[in-house]
Amino acid sequence: MSTEVQTQPLWKPGRTLLEQSNLKKYMDWLFVKKGLYFRSYHDLWEWSVTDLEDFWESLWNYFNIKSHDLYLEVLQRPQSGMIGTKWFTRSKLNYAEHIFRNKTKDRPAILFKSEQEGLREISWEQLEAEVAAVATWLKQIGVRPGDRVAAVLPNIPQAVVAFLAANSIGAVWSSCSPDFGKTALVERFRQIEPKVLFIADGCQYNGKVHDLTAFAQELSISLRSVKDIVLINNTGAESRYERYTSWEDILHLQHFGIDFEPVPFDHPIWILYSSGTTAEPKAITHGVGGCLIEHLKALVLHQNVKPGDRYFWYSTTGWMMWNYALSSLLCGATLVLYDGAPAYPSSQVLWSLAEEARITHFGSGAAFFINSMKSGVSITSERLSALETIGSTGSPLPPEVFEWVYKQVKKDVWLISLSGGTDVCSAFVGGCPIVPVYAGEIQCRMLGARIEAFGEDGKPVKNELGEMVITQPMPSMPVCFWNDPSQEKYHSSYFEMYPAVWRHGDWIKITDRHSVIIYGRSDATLNRGGVRIGTAEIYRAVESLPEVKDSLAVYLEKSNGEGTISLFVVLGREQDLTDELKAKIRETIRSQYSPRHIPDTIEQVADIPYTINGKKMEAPMKRILMGQDPEKCINLDTMRNPESLKSFV
């Protein structure tokens, strides 16, 4: 991303937004209720990260959070660090119950379109009936609060129904996209031992339908904890599958509405997964209350989502943005879903959806907008009259794409660049309706998120490149990693570099105007289309081949916001990296994991650099390949085989 500081904003909030935005209403509420007056957003942010208890309690009251028991304390800190922080102790609530507070006959709950199916509506009445039926079935088969419910589903309405049903009874949700291979799915789900698995009979992508029935059988054998598999007819096939429970049969069950199960604030809501960079993917577990209050804050105050809006974010069910977008239902918005490829039958498809569905808030990964700009999609701003915001996340959005949005998409749209992660299922930095947008910059640090850029000395720096850290706890930080009773994985993931300070792994700069510029990952995590990919997964696939002795994968960002995955392989004696072997490597990675894991380039090297402790030196190799001085990246005394550097330098 360009380091040039922009002097002229691309967008400024109009008078209506300045006076009537949700954020302004919240600030007015703080003045009336608490006598707090803030001259600027930055002053408000400073208060929110300094007086943590007052800030989060104000959100509890402002959003009228419904608890079935009074809370004792807003914040209960551990003796040291952030792990073990408790929020709103003794409170009991239910996320799905807050969703259905917004049910109405005035607007649909969901709008859905796919490659095979035209745009259709799901009413609140239908959504409530289906959630009640699935929840009834789950209870009938013995699913109890705390039990895990897993899903391998495309981005279809049934996924939303299944999640809300599981959540309503206190079960813990975990979903993955069907494009993951069996190995990747088993590595994730086996950790959490789900009792029920929801899976589609097939999925569609790029004009092709992929049968998943055999896949369902393989998973049922590998996941011994699964007692029931629910097969969802997603392809229109009329066949019945007697060994599975039919989704349609469940929907015909008699029920008596939804009986919401109150659970503690830190009761698990869902389990998301890290990329598996150094080992098997970590099962990141979030709390019901933390995600509820965080998503209300992020969507209502930072994206200005209002009742009656239509919210869309292009995502799979395995990306945290699926969970994030689903929370637009908390705000009274209609959730818009699309199942299919973003460029089939043309790169126009999602923009056409924005027009047809009259989308208010349109979001996707940064790569989508880069591709839209390069492919020269034809967009008529008059047809996007309902569009108020465009959201981008997953990787830094280049300045030229900011400019393209305002020149070619809509000149008065509010472009919101977000950055956060699976780790908190939200954003740390993002949009603000009362400050300008500058090319290549994220508008603000979000309320309640004490984000700093740490220099080499571990102290905050301004207008300099630094490590992104979070110095105060947030309610949506993980309550735990599943099967990590000693919290060792949790601690090593965020708190090894700086004691009691969360290191996130991004290089950032906080500007003099308090905006944020992100320069990419400071660690070795790979990134493809906004989805983090674990190097360990690639290694497990490619090194299963007899021809490959060792390997190293590196993600290299480019100045235009794109990036490439480079794979370096050490082959057996008298083996050469032929085109046939490259094809075999790519196919192995595709079949075991997903198309996203396939490297852009494959090169043969003599050896892979290792530390003395036997760790592959991914991050140092990334820095070297990006042009940094090797002497500043590596201490040769820490290497097991310093001669291996020759191939990379």
Task: Report whether pLDDT(519) > 50.
Answer: yes
CB contact at 8 A, 23 and 450:
no
**341 and 490 within one domain:** yes
What's the whole-number average pLDDT of the chain?
91
* CA distance linking residue 277 with residue 527, whole number of Å: 11
- Does the pLDDT at position 277 exceed 50? no
Q: Taking residues 147-164, what's their average pLDDT? A: 97
**Closest residue by Cα to residue 367 from 115, 589, 507, 557:** 557
> Is there a domain that residue 592 lies in?
yes
The size of the chain, in residues, is: 649
Among 407, 336, 382, CA closest to 107: 336
pLDDT for the residue numbered 429: 98
* pLDDT at residue 200, as a whole number: 93
pLDDT band at 190 (very low <50, low <70, confident <90, very high): very high
Instruction: Indicate if 594 and 502 belong to the same structural domain.
Output: no
CA-to-CA dists, residue 408 to 132, 346, 392, angstroms: 45, 18, 16
- Residue 106 in this model has a pLDDT that exceeds 90: yes
Kindly report the three-state secondary structure assignment for every residue of 117-144.
CCCEEECHHHHHHHHHHHHHHHHHCCCC
| Confidence (pLDDT) at 2 | 38
For residue 335, what is the domain's CATH number?
Answer: 3.40.50.12780
- How many CB atoms lie under 10 A from the CB of residue 565? 21
Q: Tens digits of per-residue pLDDT, 33-62? A: 999 999 999 999 999 999 999 999 999 999
Residue 83: pLDDT band with limits 50, 70, 90: very high
What residue has token string 């500007």?
Answer: 511
Residues 122, 186: one domain? yes
Which of 500, 521, 542 represents a domain boundary (last residue)? 521
For residues 231 and 624, the model is more confident at 231
Residue 359 has a pLDDT of 98
Q: What distance in Å separates the CA atoms of residue 587 and residue 202, rounded to the nearest whole number?
A: 21
Determine the pLDDT at residue 24.
Answer: 98
Q: Are residues 332 and 424 located together in one domain of the fold?
A: yes
Whether 81 is in a domain gets the answer: no
Rounded CA separation 366/391 (Å): 9
Per the domain annotation, does 1 fall within a domain? no
Burial of 126 (0-12, 13-18, 19+ CB in 10 A): middle
Do both 252 and 384 map to the same domain?
no
**Cβ-contact 50, 75 below 8 angstroms:** no
228, β-bridge pairs: 196
Residue 626 has pLDDT above 80, yes or no: no
Give the confidence band of 524 by pLDDT, cuts at 50, 70, 90: low
Residue 648 has pLDDT above 90, yes or no: no
Domain boundary at 472, 489, 521, which?
521
Task: Give pLDDT, residue 505.
Answer: 86
pLDDT of residue 456: 79
- Whether the CB-CB separation of 67 and 264 falls below 8 Å is answered with no
Residue 608 has which token pair? 């892979």
Q: What is the pLDDT of residues 296-346, one digit of tens each?
A: 999 999 999 999 999 999 999 999 999 999 999 999 999 999 999 998 998
Cα–Cα distance, 285 to 477 (Å, whole number): 9
In a domain, residue 393? The reply is yes
Residue that has been written with the tokens 């239908």 in this structure:
126
Q: Which of 472, 478, 470 is nearest to 504 (CA)?
A: 470
Q: Please tell me the total count of domains within the chain.
A: 3
pLDDT, residue 614, reads 61
> Could you tell me if residue 549 is left (phi over 0), alpha (psi between -120 and 50 degrees) or otherwise beta?
alpha
Is pLDDT above 50 for 352?
Answer: yes
Instruction: Please compute the mean of the pLDDT values over residues 556-574 and round it to a whole number.
Output: 82
pLDDT of residue 305: 98
Q: Which of 67-71, 85-89, 379-383 has the lowest mean pLDDT?
A: 379-383
Q: Which helix (H) or strand (E) covers residue 548, if one does?
A: strand 548-557
255 and 312 assigned to the same domain: no
First vs last C-alpha separation in the chain: 24
With contact defined as beta carbons under 8 Å apart, do 310 and 386 qualify? Answer: yes
Q: Could you tell me if residue 50 is inside a domain?
A: no
Co-location of 452 and 557 in the same domain: no
- pTM comes to 0.86
Only one residue has tokens 């993955």, namely: 176
Structural domain ending residue among the three candidates 505, 521, 537: 521
Range 192-219 average pLDDT: 89
pLDDT of 561 reads 63
What's the pLDDT score for residue 310? Answer: 98
Answer yes or no: is pLDDT of 525 > 70: no
Which amino acid is present at 215?
Answer: F
For residue 179, the model assigns a pLDDT of: 82
pLDDT value for 211: 84
Across residues 610-635, what is the average pLDDT? 75
pLDDT at position 646 is: 84
d(CA 616, CA 569) in angstroms, rounded, equals 13
By the 8 A CB rule, do 387 and 360 touch? yes
Instruction: Return the closest-CA partner of residue 156 out of 204, 95, 96.
Output: 204
Residue 279 lies in a domain: no
Which of these ranges, 405-414, 505-514, 614-623, has the smallest mean pLDDT?
614-623
Strands 466-470 and 444-445: unpaired
Residue 1 has a pLDDT of: 37
pLDDT digits (tens, 9 = 90+) for 2-24: 344 567 999 999 999 999 999 99
Residue 532 included in any domain: yes
pLDDT above 90 (res 564): no
Which of 50, 22, 26 minimizes the C-alpha distance to 36?
A: 26
Tell whether 325 and 471 lie within a shared domain: yes
Share of residues in the chain with pLDDT > 90 (%): 68
The answer on 317 and 217 residing in a single domain is no
Residue 111 main-chain phi, psi, to 5 deg: -115, 135
* Phi, psi torsion values for 425, nearest 5 degrees: 50, 40
What residue numbers bound the domain in which 545 lies? 526-647
Q: Residue 433 in contact with residue 391, Cβ under 8 Å?
A: no
Pairing of strands 480-481, 502-510: unpaired
C-alpha of 233 from chain center: 27
pLDDT at position 238, please? 63
Q: What is the pLDDT averaged over residues 91-117?
A: 97
Kindly report the CATH number assigned to the domain that includes residue 629: 3.30.300.30
Q: How far is CA 244 from the centre of its chain?
A: 30
Q: Is residue 161 part of a domain?
A: yes
| Per-residue confidence (pLDDT) for residue 371, from 0 to 100 | 84
Question: Is the pLDDT at 278 greater than 50, yes or no?
Answer: no
pLDDT of residue 647: 82
Asked if 377 and 515 sit in the same domain, the reply is: yes
Same domain, yes or no: 586 and 544: yes
Whether residue 495 is found in the same domain as residue 544? no
The reported pLDDT for the residue numbered 457 is 85
CATH number assigned to the domain comprising residue 174: 3.40.50.980
Per-residue pLDDT of 470-500, as tens digits, reads 999 999 999 999 999 999 999 999 999 998 9
